[in-house]
Amino acid sequence: MSPSNTGNYDGDFRIMGNFRSQWKEVAKPYTTESVGGDKNFYVRNEKISAGLLIINDKSGGNLQVNKIQASLAYHKTLGKNTFHIGVQPGLTMKSIIGNETFPDQFDWGTGQFNGSLPNNETNLSYRLHYFDLNWGAGYDRKLTNKVEIFTSFAMFHINAPKETFLSNSNTLTARNVLSLGVTWYALPKITVQPSLCMMGTDKASEFLFGSRFFYSLDKDYSIKKAVFVGVYGRKGFANLTDAFFAVIGANYKNYYAGVSYDFNISQLKTASDYRGAFEVSFIYTGMSTRLTKTQIPCDRY
């Protein structure tokens, strides 16, 4: 979402894993796996966080993407306001694997593509890599005892890296991501967390919106021991809704686990039979060892 979210939690360190499989019913599934972690440091009472994220993505079986991204963030609390800023340099590696075909390999006699025909791609490279740079900023505020707001903004590919398997000069334009959310402790056992995310790059856009609902298994408003469900929608700015997805999960002390499933309602639903993507995630957050209260012993008479 944003490099500024590195270390934005209450704890010493955090590790995570995520797996997603999409469109298994249509063709070869699009799969994405990611692992990562971040850690908080305190330098002269200032909070600084460092993190590492590793991503592997396979699109349709032939295009493979590997990313290694490091991040660094700074957090500053002033009263009820907390500000975050972060930067994320990384390396992206892409490769074409499998038996891909090209326009010149279309066999007009059979009406199908034939991989044995010459592709006439003299400048084709099957591998590429480039340096990428992202940055982001965030803001949290506790409005009342029951309402907190959070927001972040990020820009990805700010160095406009060159990305092409051919000899042309295609470059990535910046992808802007804006997220907004509210945590509302509505009732002693119920917490509501509506949120939205808007992102866009060049002529592509995406808009996600929805809410999670927590039921506390602990005292009063705590969501550190809670189960939750959520419903979200996804669409482009200029087109109809693409999908709805449901989320279910639980927080238990330092552990988080969540599962989601996409229900495809776009024009692809004829082929997908409304089935989209399955995703599962896990997070472990190490307990904070930082002292936040000071006690002075006093004799009693």
**Rounded to whole angstroms, how far apart are CA atoms 232 and 266?**
15
**Rounded to whole angstroms, how far apart are CA atoms 50 and 11?**
13
CB 185 within 8 A of CB 198: no
Confidence at residue 98, expressed as pLDDT on a 0 to 100 scale: 66
pLDDT digits (tens, 9 = 90+) for 75-85: 999 989 999 99
- What's the whole-number mean pLDDT along residues 152-162? 95
pLDDT digits (tens, 9 = 90+) for 32-52: 999 999 999 999 889 999 999
Domain ranges of the chain: 3-285
The band of 116, judged by pLDDT with boundaries at 50, 70 and 90, is: confident
Greater confidence (263 vs 41) lies with 41
Confidence at residue 277, expressed as pLDDT on a 0 to 100 scale: 84
- What's the whole-number mean pLDDT along residues 62-68? 91
Confidence at residue 132, expressed as pLDDT on a 0 to 100 scale: 96
pLDDT digits (tens, 9 = 90+) for 83-105: 999 999 999 999 987 667 778 78
**Rounded to whole angstroms, how far apart are CA atoms 49 and 41?**
6
CATH 2.40.160.40 fits 3-285, yes or no: yes
Q: What is the DSSP string of 128-163?
A: EEEEEEEEEEEEEEE-SSSEEEEEEEEEE-TT--B-
Confidence at residue 234, expressed as pLDDT on a 0 to 100 scale: 87
Residue 295 above 70 pLDDT? Answer: no
The band of 228, judged by pLDDT with boundaries at 50, 70 and 90, is: very high
Confidence at residue 119, expressed as pLDDT on a 0 to 100 scale: 73
**Rounded to whole angstroms, how far apart are CA atoms 150 and 5?**
11
Residue 269 above 70 pLDDT? Answer: no
For the question of whether the overall pTM of this predicted structure is more than 0.95, the answer is: no
Confidence at residue 260, expressed as pLDDT on a 0 to 100 scale: 95
